[in-house]
Structure 1
Amino acid sequence: MMVATTYLILWCTTVTIATLQRNILAPGWMMKFTDENQTGVPKHVLAMQDRYFYPVRQIIQKVLLSPSRHERARMNQKTQKYILKSTEFPCNKNGTRSLTRPSSVHQLRPGDIDIIGSVGDSLTVGLGSFSSYAFELPVEHRGVSWTAGGDGTWREYLTLPNILKEFNPKLFGYAYGDALAEQRGSQFNVAENAALSQDLFFMTRELVKRIKNDKRVNLTEHWKLITILMGSNTFCLQLCYEDNVKLINLHKNKLYSSIFYIKQNLPRTIINLVLSPSLEILTKLSEKPNVCNFLNKMECPCFFARQYKHRQTDFIKTMAEFQKVEKEIVKLEEFKNSDNFTVTLQTFTEKSVVPLNRFNKSDLTYLSADCFHLSQKGYALAANALWNNMMEPVENKSSNWIKEFDRFNCPTAESPYISTWKNSQITVSS
């Protein structure tokens, strides 16, 4: 009971402050945005956050970092199976980096990506990766983030950066360690716990600013890969309180503005837009522990609290509308008419379900201690699915995931490029 109470206090404090602030801040090691028209937050509130909120977050992060958490998670089978160093990478790496830097985004091989970044919420932060107990959940494990974490190698932590490092060892921008967003180790992973759709544009500006201010970056020459995933917290914290049609339009406007801003400011960029996952997946878990039921109601009241159960069907329809909006945005001609930029929808989240164990029940080892976030093994599963989507033709992408490493798509002589709308048409016609 004491553990649950402690966790409740820590989690509620973090989520409440993060939700109320409705933005993220630039870290102290770079210039901050203090333009009230951009953040929507008064300057004195931003100053108060610098003075109180971030120091408290850093204290909580340090207090909850247990030296044995990795081993404990491994004993509980919540980490991917370790792969021996003698095991070869699943793909043949010959010819996976161009001899000369490509001039078209539609001719990018995996090894041509120089910089990686990410925008998102707690799922992109890697929250809960090694949590065996509820009180460990607030710890951010950015270094093993499936979209932008670069700790170790693919053998122990399958992440998108660790996959791409096999093709280009000089890749940079990925996060490392247990860094918070305001710390240097976060690099170009600007995701924030409890971020909402309305935070998307601010986070995008922060990402662009970090990239432009980094001396390692050659803005006009380096190819950049940015992954965006947003929606879960909007579903959890706003669907039951705000007009759903307005939320859909807000998500559409912020997402469009963010993608357009990247196009205008970051030449040579490809965006992975991951379809926002429907929370319906969590209603289908079998034998969910009571502690998960308790935590889900606290983390995601709109979808799990008893007083909103009668609206759950409507909420599922609203989440489908969010996905519809995302599908519409990537098809806009203005995002398809350039050799310098493109955005591709990655759809593996559309019909994903939690894998089953040998007893034909939901395999909860893929989930964190709250059965909401993913464990490191779950994030490895997501990284594998994202990679597979990237190598699959547009309009023919898988809409689910399978057990990690059971299917690992590789570049081929016939399809050597990261898939875009244009090179997918060429592949289909040939």
Structure 2
Amino acid sequence: MSNYKLNYFDARALGETARLLFTAAGIEFEDRRWTWDNWPEIQKTSPTGVAPWLEVDGQFIPESFAINRFLANKFGFAGKDEFEKAFVDATADFYRFTMEDSRPYTWIARGIIEGDKDSVYHSQFHPAVEKAFNYIASLLEKSESDFVTSSGITWVDFYLVENMLTIFNIVPKLRDEFPAISNYEIKVHDHPLIKDYNHGHDNLEGDDERNNRHTVENGEYHEFSALESYFFFDFVIGIRPPAHNYKTAASITESDEESEEKDDFKPHEEDNELNRGLLPRPVGETQPIDELNSHPIGIDEDQGRPDESISFISRAFTTRKTFSCPKTKTDFVTGGNIATLNPEDVEVIAAMGDNVATGEGLWSPTMIEFRGASFAIGGDASIDGLVTVPNILREFTEHPLIGVSHGMGSRDELPFYQLNVAQGRSNTSNLPEQATELVRRLNNFTIKDIRGKWTMVIVTIGTEELCSYCGVPNVNAINEATDILNRGIHKGFVVVIGPLYITLASEQNKNLLRDKCPCLKPKSDNYIQRLLKEWENGLIEVQEHNLEVKRRTFGVLVLPFLTVTSRYPKSLFVRNTTLLNRRGHNYAAKWIWNRLVSGPKYNLSDAILSRDKYFCPSVGCPYFRNLENFKDCPILRHVDATEEDVQDMKKGVRPKRDKFTLYKLALIVVGLAFCTATSGCIIFYWMSKHQKHGRFDMEPIVEDGIYKEYKKPRGLTVSSKKGDVTPSSEDDEYEKRSYREPEYPYRKPENETPFYDKNLLGYNSEEEEQSFLNIGR
């Protein structure tokens, strides 16, 4: 007889279906349980770093659905034939994926996050529950038994009622709204095979008591903390927890890098116990606030609020509104080809590559892949709490973004419609397989006109390859991968990003990733420079290859390095690894966005990554900057566009203006120039007519109420004191005299008689004047 050991938390959650299967089959098993406090140590024994897992005679089976199906087939609860087995599996998958939209409300209802409870209930929770419950009710109505299949009870019945029980506990009124589902849940839990187990482990009669989750420690019941309750509740729903539905210090996004950090980043909890997943209990239970962080006691470092005004959990996400780029698609013709691709045109997002795209280490020390928080494709929370490329794109679009990743898990653990096909420890040789998987997932979509939607694919590759064994890029493999995407995606924009390049803000020519890479650390500077040059040249070859096979609706942009600068570069990594932490992913998302919008002229000093600064698509070129619009950006406004112009734009041809339009523009330009010149002339003429003096006239100087004019007879010089005149040595008496200005155009001084100076030119003596008067007598 086989020896079974089921390993899971001391809660119903993802382990309860397997326990019910053992109980229904009457098979003895070792039920290993633990609390959240013990999980960090126990996790080291998990084959995948997650729970649950089943041990069968020394063999390990991870993941709850795999365990359920294995036990169901083993004990006869999978279905009577192959068709019924497939039907049971499909029912479980349908229910699981449909109930994803119910998560936000359930967390708000339990006080795990804040939100508009009524709004979320009517917009997300109730529609999801109604869809799932009505589908199960329709199956029960068709069934010849009281269960999903006519042949009798199966493992999917155990799975469904465990989840339904939690939903009824949160919203008891749903029992009255869905009486068939309520009766179904009671019948399954009262089934003779599991009735004794249920009544011995859970009080299924009282909703109030079932709402409180408990675990046993040393023979005594202990109520879960808020953080523990969150984890267990999520596992009851059967889906891994996405970041936007809870708040932990591991997800804190620093808005400014001006904090006082040391190079080893020890004062920051982001790269200490909290970022490694060792989450303490909320403040007030077991730890004082000063043990949780090194910031001033009683002050929230993000918004300056007192600690007592917010919970420990809610500090993880900020509420600032940081993104305010205007939308331009309503003004311009966009999306016709790769040269006119606007952020508002993107409807599908996907990711390929290595650990950078999987989000590994964001929930350490478990090394679980936190894909929902990866900068390339993570969609948990919003941009104000989690800066990722999809969350930025959501600020531009009203339609839902397809392919976004949520929650934690490997590529095969998460739903197929989450288009993150990256694999940990991957290198460039693995890209063709990932490209094939991505195309397969896209082809399996049942969404109408998925082929006609623009798809952005972000490929992050090279960091693991460079650090682990000093490898160079496999150019042929990258070209093969892009060719697969070219054939499989009708409208696609692929961004290939090379290895991480982390530098100091003050010294940007040195890659500090070297100190964390076991292969690069002992190498010389010249060797590393040659290696980085190999990567740069190799990726340039990829760019050139894709220029040869380009299409109007498919393009590839190659960025040789993922360049991130910081005054404290060590604060961007999970300790002692090359994995980016939450801050590192934050900076990476901002860098890639600013680079795509601004083009190759992007300067890191123009938008400091530690602050919430984003480039917006410019009116001069409101598109993603790629090789098709670097030099010549085609722009066409809706008000100027004709149907022929729009078709030309789709073909990549710049629209030509007719002669009438050109003549009209020329006439407008000439008219504006004429009006400007005429206006200037009129203004100058009017000003000249109102002047009292000529352009070259000298202004008189008033001193002691007497006008003095500027005179410079021969031999005279103007003294340094304004208005004074120094006589020459030939006439000393000149200094004692003063002269008056002529009567016109100045005022004649009153009670003054004219003064005659013999030395002035034109002066006549009395004899000369008399002789002049006698002329003609």
Return the TM-score normalized by structure 2. 0.40
Deviates more, 1:376-385 or 1:218-227: 218-227
1:22-171 matches, within 5 Å, as 70-71=248-249, 74=252, 76-77=269-270, 82-84=317-319, 87=321, 89-93=323-327, 95-96=328-329, 102-131=335-364, 135-136=365-366, 138-169=367-398, 170-171=400-401
Whether the 8 Å CA contact 1:219–1:266 is kept in 2: the answer is no
- Tell me if structure 2 keeps the 8 A contact 1:97–1:111: no
Other-structure match for 1:328: 541
Deviation at 1:5, TM superposition (A): 10
Contact 1:179 1:185 in 2 (8 A): no
* CA–CA separation in structure 2 for the residues paired with 1:193 and 1:11: 16
**Is it true that 1:252 corresponds to 2:475 in the alignment?**
yes
The structure 1 residue matched to 2:519, chosen from 290, 302, 319, is: 302
CA distance in 1, matches of 2:550, 2:534: 26
Say whether the 8 Å CA contact 2:386–2:586 is kept in structure 1: yes
SS in 1 for 2:395: helix
Q: Structure 1 residues 214 and 405, CA, compared in 2 at 3 Å: closer, same or farther? A: farther
In the alignment, is residue 391 of structure 1 matched against residue 597 of structure 2? yes
Letter in 2 for 1:368: V
Looking at structure 2, the residues matched to 172 and 65 of structure 1 have their Cα atoms a distance apart, in angstroms, of 16
Whether the aligned pair in 1 keeps the contact of 2:542 and 2:558 (CA below 8 Å) is: no
User: Which fold has the larger relative contact order, with Cα–Cα distance below 8 Å and residues 6 or more apart in sequence?
Assistant: 1
CA deviations on 1:322-378 (whole Å, 9 max, x unpaired) are 12111232133645742111111235625x34x12xxxxx35432223352111121
Per the TM alignment, residue 129 of structure 1 is displaced from its structure 2 partner at its CA by 2.0
> 2 CA distance for matches of 1:109 and 1:140?
31
In structure 2, what residue type is equivalent to 1:141? Answer: F
In structure 1, what is the equivalent of residue 581 of structure 2?
375
Q: How far, CA to CA, are the matches of 1:172 and 1:63 in structure 2?
A: 19
Q: CA deviation at 1:278?
A: 4.7
- Secondary structure of 1:343's match? strand
Contact 1:335 1:343 in 2 (8 A): no
Report the 3-state secondary structure (helix = DSSP H, G, I; strand = E; otherwise coil) of the residue aligned with 2:377.
coil
Mapped to 1, the partners of 2:411 and 2:526 lie a distance apart of 35
**CA–CA distance in 1 between the matches of 2:374 and 2:250?**
19
State how far apart, in whole Å, the 1-side matches of 2:501 and 2:370 are. 23
| C-alpha distance in structure 2 between counterparts of 1:220 and 1:303, whole Å | 43
- Structure 2: runs of 5+ lacking an equivalent: 1-38, 51-65, 67-234, 253-267, 276-300, 303-316, 503-509, 636-777
Verify the 8 A CA contact 1:130 1:376 in the aligned structure 2.
Answer: no
**Is the alpha carbon distance of 1:168 and 1:73 closer, same or farther for their aligned partners in structure 2, counting shifts above 3 Å?**
closer
Is contact 2:349–2:402 with CA below 8 Å preserved after alignment?
yes
CA distance, structure 1, for counterparts of residue 270 and residue 49 of structure 2:
30
Quote how far apart the aligned CAs of 1:108 are. 1.2
> Are the aligned partners of 1:220 and 1:268 in contact in 2 as well (CA < 8 Å)?
yes
Cα 1:225/1:335, change in 2 over 3 Å = farther
Q: Answer whether contact 1:111 1:168 (CA < 8 A) is retained.
A: yes
For 1:48, the equivalent position in structure 2 comes to: none
Q: Classify 1:255/1:153 alpha carbon distance in 2 versus 1 (closer, same or farther; 3 Å).
A: same
Question: For residues 217 and 196 of structure 1, do their structure 2 counterparts lie closer, same or farther at Cα, with a shift above 3 Å needed?
Answer: farther
Q: Which amino acid aligns with 1:148?
A: I
1:226, 1:97 → 2: CA distance?
25
SS state at 1:128 partner: strand
Per the TM alignment, residue 99 of structure 1 is displaced from its structure 2 partner at its CA by: 7.8
Say if 1:97 and 1:110, in contact at 8 Å, map to a contact too. no
- The 3-state SS of whatever aligns with 1:168 is coil
> Contact between 2:451 and 2:490, CA under 8 Å: does it hold in 1?
yes
Match of 1:345 in 2: 558
What's the CA shift for 1:130?
4.1
8 Å CA contact retained: 2:371, 2:377: yes
The amino acid of 1:89's aligned partner reads F
Alpha-carbon deviations, 1:74-131, whole Å to 9, x = none?
Answer: 472469964425x2623123x2467877321111110100100010111111112243
Partner in structure 2 of residue 212 of structure 1: 443
Change (3 A) 1:383 1:217: farther
Amino acid at match of 1:147: A
Shift of 1:149: 0.7
Query: What SS is found at the alignment partner of 2:511?
Result: helix
CA distance in 2, matches of 1:109, 1:171: 14
CA distance 1:422–1:65, shift in 2 (3 Å) = closer
**Greater helix share, structure number:** 1
Which of 488, 501, 511 is 1:265 aligned to?
Answer: 488
Query: How far off its partner does 1:269 sit?
Result: 0.4
Q: Distance in 2 between matches of 1:258 and 1:76?
A: 40
* 8 Å CA contact retained: 2:540, 2:560: no
Deviation at 1:11, TM superposition (A): 10
What residue identity is the alignment partner of 1:385?
W
User: Does residue 232 of the first structure (1) align with residue 466 of the second (2)?
Assistant: no
Structure-1 separation of matches of 2:519 and 2:537: 21
Task: Select 1:314's aligned residue among 491, 505, 527.
Answer: 527
The offset of 1:426, in angstroms, is 1.5
Change (3 A) 1:397 1:257: farther
The 1:68/1:189 distance shift into structure 2, 3 A limit, reads closer
Equivalent position of 1:53 in the other structure: none
Q: How many residues align?
A: 344
Is the Cα contact below 8 Å between 2:352 and 2:421 reproduced in 1? yes
Aligned residue type for 1:235: L
Partner of 2:407: 177
* Partner in structure 1 of residue 703 of structure 2: none
Residue 423 of structure 1 corresponds to which residue in structure 2?
A: 629
Confirm or deny: 8 A CA contact 1:335 1:342 kept in the other structure. no
Counterpart for residue 102 of structure 2: none
SS at match of 1:257: helix
Aligned position for 1:40? none
- Pairwise CA distance, 1:391: 0.6
Distance, in Å, in 2 between the alignment partners of 1:188 and 1:254 is: 21
Counterpart contact for 2:371–2:408, Cα < 8 Å:
yes
The 1:104/1:72 distance shift into structure 2, 3 A limit, reads closer
- Preserved contact between residue 228 and residue 274 of structure 1 (Cα < 8 Å): yes
Give 3-state SS (helix, strand or coil) of 1:390's partner: helix
Aligned to 1:34: none
Whole-Å Cα distance in 1 between the matches of residues 495 and 518 of structure 2? 29
Give CA-to-partner distance per residue, 1:178-220, whole Å, 9 cap, x none. Answer: 1320023471111111111211111111111111111126243
1:190 matched to 2:421: yes
